[in-house]
């Protein structure tokens, strides 16, 4: 128990240190708007990919509809902060977004989660497209033109903090009774059922959880970029998040962080390559997958608890 607390303290320290470092860099002028943009994009991608990793990597359900739930969060913020342009309005809109996304996830998940593998992927992709098409044709969402002039209510600090909080919450969930039940579904659905695990329920729990984090990511996206349009949330957007999850390692939250940072940095650096950027990006993608088929980190997790444990063991020897 002591090691747990110690590890938690270390984690908290790391998070605060990260914040202080970025803040200092910003103050010293090392981080300008450009770098800040990159960091925020990485942060939002971490939030989105962590949620998707919970669905794909931990519950083993292949969802390709993450952008649909992201859209719900983004539009909730876009619409609500038009009339309540205060931080309070922003958090309110985020909560509304989460709530709507949860309802949508239940509507989508209850029937489709009984499908398996690629069939589930294609069904969730369809569901996300339906959400996008609805947004594209509704008046309140301003149709294809999207919403712009969304008040800038999310700074990089907001994104950073919320990224930390969602990661903590997700990791905590994984390391709990519920998280283990979710993983047992991934490992062997039949055996899990035979052990009394209501697999439908836990699959749905993971799916809804993921959808809620997607809505948070979307909400932050809307408030930081200040422009949203239905085309931001198409199939390719879902795939972009999937790529982060798989590249980092399915089932590794640490991997998700690493992949989001690597891809975010790569994308930014490739901005200097003009039209070649997407060619280099796709080649990088293919090569990483061929040489690291289980992703950059596989299912390895960074754990201060284990690190500490190792240290103690070696100290005793």
Partner 1 sequence: MSNRLLDAQHLVKNFGGLTAVSDVSVHFDQNELVGLIGPNGAGKTTLFNLLTGVTPISSGAITLATDQGVQTLNGQRPAQIAQAGLSRTFQNIRLFKDLTVLDNVRIAMTNHYHETFFGSIFRTPAFYRTEAAMTTAAQNLLGIFDLTTVADQPAKNLPYGIQRRLEIVRALATKPKLLFLDEPAAGMNPEETADLTRLIRQIQHDFHITIVLIEHDMSLVMTVVERLYVLEHGALLAAGTPAEIQKNPAVIKAYLGDETTC
Partner 2 sequence: MQTIGQQLINGLSLGSIYALLALGYTMVYGIIKLINFAHGDIYMLGAFWGYYVINVLHVNFIVALLSAMVFCALVGVVIEAIAYRPLRHSPRITALITAIGVSFLLENGMSYLFTANTRNFPQVIKTVTWHFAGMRISNIQVLILVTACLLMLILELIIKKTKMGKAMRAVSVDPTAAQLVGINLNHTISFTFALGSAMAGAAGVLIGLYYNSIDPLMGMTPGIKAFVAAVIGGIGSVPGASLGGFIIGLLETAVQAIGLSAYKDAVVYVVLIVILLVLPAGIFGKNVKEKV
Partner 3 sequence: MKKWEQTTIKLTALATIAMTLAGCSTAKSSTSQGNNPGKTIKIGVNMELSGSAAGYGNQEKQGIQLAVNQINKNGGIKVGSTKKKIQLVIRDNKTANTTAASVAAQLVNNDKVVAVVGPAATNAGTASIPNMTKAAVPSVSPSATDPGYTLQKGGTVQPYIFRACYQNNFQGSSAAKFVTKTLKAKRVAILTDNSSDYGTGLTKAFKQAYTGTVASSQTFQEGDKDFNAILTSLKHKKVDAIYAPGYYSELGLIIKQARQAGINVPIIGSDGMADAKLAKIAGNHNATNVYYTTPFSTKSGATNPTAANFLKAFQAKYQTTAPTFSALAYDSVYMIKAAIENEKSANSVKIADGLAKLKNFKGVTGTITMNKKHNPEKSIVVEKLTQGIVKQTYNVQ
Residue 234, token pair as written in the block? 């198409």
- H/E element, 50: helix 33-53
Q: Where are the alpha helices (DSSP H) in 113-234?
A: 117-137, 156-174, 177-187, 189-194, 199-225
x/- mask, partner 3, residues 210-239, rule CB under 8 A, reads -----------x---xxxxx-xx-------
> x/- binding map, residues 39-58, to partner 3, per CB under 8 A?
--x-----------------
Minimum gap (Å) between residue 115 Cβ and partner 2: 6
The full DSSP string for 236-301 is HHHHHHHHHHHHH-TT-HHHHHHHHHHHHHHHHHHGGGGGGHHHHHHHHHHHHHHH-TT-SSTT--
Both ends of the chain: CA-CA distance in Å? 22
Per-residue burial over 217-254, b if 16 or more Cβ lie within 10 Å, else e, is bbbbbbbbbbebbbebbbbebbebbbbbbbbbbbbbbb
- For the window 143-172, what string marks contact with partner 1 as x by the rule CB under 8 A? -------------------------xx--x
How many whole angstroms separate alpha carbon 89 and alpha carbon 109? 29
- The closest of 70, 81, 104 to 229, measured between CA atoms, is 70
Residue 116 binds to partner 2 (criterion: CB under 8 A): yes
Find the shortest distance in angstroms from Cβ 35 to partner 3.
Answer: 8
Nearer CB in complex with partner 3: 45/199: 45
CB contact at 8 A, 94 and 155 = no
> According to CB under 8 A, which one of 65, 73, 179, 217 is a site residue for partner 1?
179
Candidates 23, 189, 193, 301: give the one binding partner 3 (CB under 8 A): 23
# residues near partner 1 by CB under 8 A: 26
114 contacts partner 1 (rule: CB under 8 A): no
Q: Which does 289 bind (CB under 5 to 8 A by kind): partner 1, partner 2, partner 3, none?
A: partner 2
Q: Which of 139, 275, 313, 314 binds partner 2 (CB under 8 A)?
A: 275
Q: Residue 158 phi/psi, 5° resolution?
A: -60, -45
Position among 2, 83, 196, 314 found at the interface with partner 1 (CB under 8 A): 196
Contact code string over 197-226 relative to partner 1, x by CB under 8 A: xxx---------------------------
Measured CA to CA, the distance from residue 174 to residue 55 in angstroms comes to 11
Residues that bind partner 2 (CB under 8 A): 56, 62, 111-112, 114-119, 121-123, 126-127, 129-130, 133-134, 136-137, 190, 235, 239, 242-243, 246-247, 250, 275-276, 278-279, 281-283, 285-286, 289-290, 293-295
Residues that bind partner 1 (CB under 8 A): 1, 168-169, 172-173, 176-181, 183-184, 187-188, 190-199, 299
């Amino acid at each position: 128990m002591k090691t747990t607390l110690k590890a938690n303290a270390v984690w908290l320290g790391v998070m605060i240190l990260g914040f202080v470092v970025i803040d200092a860099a910003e103050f010293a002028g090392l981080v300008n708007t450009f770098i800040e943009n990159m960091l925020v994009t990485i942060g939002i991608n971490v939030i989105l990919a962590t949620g998707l990793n919970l669905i794909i990597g931990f519950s083993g359900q292949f969802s390709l509809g993450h952008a649909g739930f992201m859209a719900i969060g983004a539009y909730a913020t876009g619409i609500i902060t038009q009339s309540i342009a205060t931080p309070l309005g922003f958090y309110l809109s985020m909560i509304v977004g989460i709530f709507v996304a949860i309802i949508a996830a239940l509507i989508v998940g209850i029937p489709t989660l009984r499908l398996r593998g690629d069939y589930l992927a294609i069904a969730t992709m369809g569901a996300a497209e339906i959400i996008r098409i609805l947004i594209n044709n509704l008046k309140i969402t301003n149709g294809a033109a999207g919403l712009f002039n969304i008040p800038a209510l999310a700074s990089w600090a907001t994104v950073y903090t919320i990224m930390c909080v969602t990661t903590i919450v997700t990791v905590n969930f994984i390391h709990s009774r519920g998280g283990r039940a979710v993983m047992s579904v991934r490992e062997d659905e039949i055996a899990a059922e035979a052990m009394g695990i209501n697999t439908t329920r836990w699959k749905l729990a993971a799916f809804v959880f993921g959808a809620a984090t997607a809505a948070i990511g979307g909400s932050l996206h809307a408030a930081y970029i200040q422009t949203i349009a239905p085309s931001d949330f198409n199939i390719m957007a879902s795939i972009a998040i999937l790529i982060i999850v798989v590249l980092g390692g399915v089932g590794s939250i640490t991997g998700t962080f690493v992949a989001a940072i690597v891809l975010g940095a790569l994308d930014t650096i490739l901005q200097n390559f003009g039209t070649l950027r997407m060619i280099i990006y796709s080649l990088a993608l293919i090569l990483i997958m061929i040489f690291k088929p289980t992703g950059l980190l596989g299912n390895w997790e960074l754990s201060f608890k284990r690190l500490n444990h190792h240290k103690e063991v070696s100290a005793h020897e």
